[in-house]
């Protein structure tokens, strides 16, 4: 009788900080390949005041004191633990049935080139005390996945291309998996050849922030605000002139680079808010399309996931920039687009427990494969 698939939990909150995604995933090995089945998932909202503070930190703000930093570390951990326990309760699964929990934490700063951008002191920082999560849930908790890759000379991101390849590769065509979170990133899956991946630039981080400032809504539902505006070609050109876009992979970025203070100097008083929203959406579509044309011109299919998959205006503009390329949700291939990243951190926890690498050096730029994260036993 075959062993039951092992259960893992993955918890993720991205640069948008729009909620904590938690996924219960069953992993098994069949014919030499890893298979992942999403057993249950949910998104838990941040407490509004805590989210506001995390967003401010993520886009370059400073902590007022070490006391505040320590308190935030615990508050994030409690929110993650609450999310994990709520999902297990809904699913009728006891904590003791879960092999391990992979916690991404909340990124508050990502500086793979160092704070001075000179490469001398690279770092990345995610908070959410894993000791407390393990204590609260009674589940072995694996966390702090990105820093080992950075210590090995990598960007610490993206970390999920290996999972994308396992779930979505097809030897009949070149594909790209596009995660439209706060920042957009792509995984390049050629029909034959090495997997690559990198960030392409801003996605929901700028779109959500501008929408919230001018409409009060936390995000642009279905892209309606952007669709009501017109793209100003001169403004778009100024946005595209950002030097980061011209950097070759491997590369990564975050909200600390692309935020409203980055946008403001590129605007003038004549721009209506809806037209700026339209330009920001076009910026995301253009930078993704430009990156794909440059790095994998033979791409035949783009499989989108993340919050931006629910923005039909964004997907339509991306398709317009990629004629002949199918642009569709990962849902069309049996992978829930809202929980790909949370599933990925369940997979990374499994890799760590098995003593297997979680990074792809050709993606992150690290000096070699590394086992990522630290294990905090229950």
Q: What is the DSSP letter of 241?
A: T
pLDDT at residue 58, rounded to an integer:
85
Task: Summarize pLDDT for 152-176 with one digit per residue, the tens.
Answer: 999 999 999 999 998 999 999 999 9
Task: Please give the Cα distance from 220 to 211 (Å, whole number).
Answer: 6
- Per-residue pLDDT for 1 more than 50? no
- Per-residue pLDDT for 284 more than 70? yes
Average pLDDT over residues 117-122: 90
pLDDT at residue 360, rounded to an integer:
95
Domains in the chain and their CATH numbers? Answer: 6-157+340-376 (3.30.420.40), 161-333 (3.30.420.40)
Task: Please give the Cα distance from 47 to 28 (Å, whole number).
Answer: 36
Name every residue whose Cβ is closer than 8 Å to that of residue 244 and which is 6 or more positions away in sequence. 201, 251, 253, 257
Task: Please give the Cα distance from 205 to 121 (Å, whole number).
Answer: 26
CA distances to 149, 215, 260, 315 from 273, rounded to whole Å, are: 40, 9, 13, 21
Task: Please give the Cα distance from 179 to 199 (Å, whole number).
Answer: 9
- Residue 94 confidence class, pLDDT cut points 50, 70, 90: very high
* Other Cβ atoms closer than 10 A to 193: 10
Strand partners, 33: 30
- Per-residue pLDDT for 60 more than 90? no
- Per-residue pLDDT for 3 more than 80? no
CA distances to 27, 35, 180, 276, 316 from 236, rounded to whole Å, are: 44, 42, 19, 9, 18
- Per-residue pLDDT for 122 more than 80? yes
Percentage of the chain surpassing pLDDT 70? 99
Task: Summarize pLDDT for 210-234 with one digit per residue, the tens.
Answer: 999 999 999 999 999 999 999 999 9
Name every residue whose Cβ is closer than 8 Å to that of residue 295 and which is 6 or more positions away in sequence. 186, 188, 196, 198, 249
Asked if 374 and 144 touch (Cβ cutoff 8 Å), the reply is yes
Helix (H) or strand (E) holding 302: strand 301-305
pLDDT at residue 212, rounded to an integer:
94
Task: Summarize pLDDT for 66-83 with one digit per residue, the tens.
Answer: 999 999 999 999 999 999
- Per the confidence metrics, is the pTM higher than 0.75? yes
Mean pLDDT taken over the chain: 95
pLDDT at residue 345, rounded to an integer:
98
The dihedral sign for the CA sequence 193, 196, 200, 205: positive
Average pLDDT over residues 133-148: 98
Average pLDDT over residues 173-189: 97
Q: Which of 241, 240, 332 is nearest to 282 (CA)?
A: 240
Task: Summarize pLDDT for 300-335 with one digit per residue, the tens.
Answer: 999 999 999 999 999 999 999 999 999 999 999 999
With H, G, I as helix, E, B as strand and everything else as coil, classify residue 19.
coil
Q: Which of 142, 175, 146 is nearest to 160 (CA)?
A: 146
- Per-residue pLDDT for 23 more than 50? yes
């Amino acid at each position: 009788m075959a062993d039951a698939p092992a259960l893992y939990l993955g918890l993720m909150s991205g640069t948008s900080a729009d909620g904590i995604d938690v996924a219960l995933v069953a992993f098994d090995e069949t014919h030499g390949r890893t298979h992942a089945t999403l057993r249950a998932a949910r998104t838990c909202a941040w407490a509004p005041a805590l989210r506001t503070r995390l967003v401010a930190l993520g886009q370059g703000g400073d902590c007022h004191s070490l006391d505040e930093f320590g308190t935030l570390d615990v508050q994030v951990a409690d929110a993650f633990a609450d999310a994990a326990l709520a999902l297990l309760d809904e699913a009728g699964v006891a904590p003791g049935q879960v092999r391990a929990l992979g916690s991404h934490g909340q990124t508050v700063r990502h500086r793979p080139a160092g704070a001075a951008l000179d490469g001398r002191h690279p770092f990345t920082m995610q908070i959410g005390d894993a000791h407390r999560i393990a204590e609260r849930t009674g589940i072995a908790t694996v966390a702090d996945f990105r820093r080992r890759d950075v210590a090995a000379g990598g960007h610490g991101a993206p970390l999920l291309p290996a999972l994308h390849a396992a779930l979505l590769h097809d030897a009949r065509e070149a594909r790209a998996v596009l995660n439209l979170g706060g920042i957009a990133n792509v995984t390049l899956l050629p029909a034959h050849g090495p997997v690559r991946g990198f960030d392409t630039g801003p996605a929901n981080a700028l779109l959500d922030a501008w929408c919230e400032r001018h409409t009060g809504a936390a995000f642009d539902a279905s892209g309606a605000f952007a669709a009501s505006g017109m793209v100003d070609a001169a403004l778009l050109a100024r946005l595209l002139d950002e030097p980061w876009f011209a950097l070759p992979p491997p590369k990564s970025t975050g909200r600390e680079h692309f935020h409203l203070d980055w946008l403001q100097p590129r605007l003038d008083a004549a721009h209506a808010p809806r037209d700026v929203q339209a330009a920001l959406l076009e910026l995301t579509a253009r930078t993704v399309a430009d990156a794909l044309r440059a790095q994998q011109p033979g791409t035949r299919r783009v499989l989108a996931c993340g919050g931006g998959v629910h923005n039909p205006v964004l997907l339509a503009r991306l398709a317009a920039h990629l004629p002949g390329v199918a642009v569709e949700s990962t849902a069309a291939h049996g992978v829930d687009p809202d929980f790909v990243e949370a599933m990925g951190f369940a997979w990374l926890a499994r890799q760590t427990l098995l003593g297997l690498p979680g990074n792809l050096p050709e993606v992150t730029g690290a000096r070699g494969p590394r086992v990522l994260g630290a294990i905090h036993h229950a």
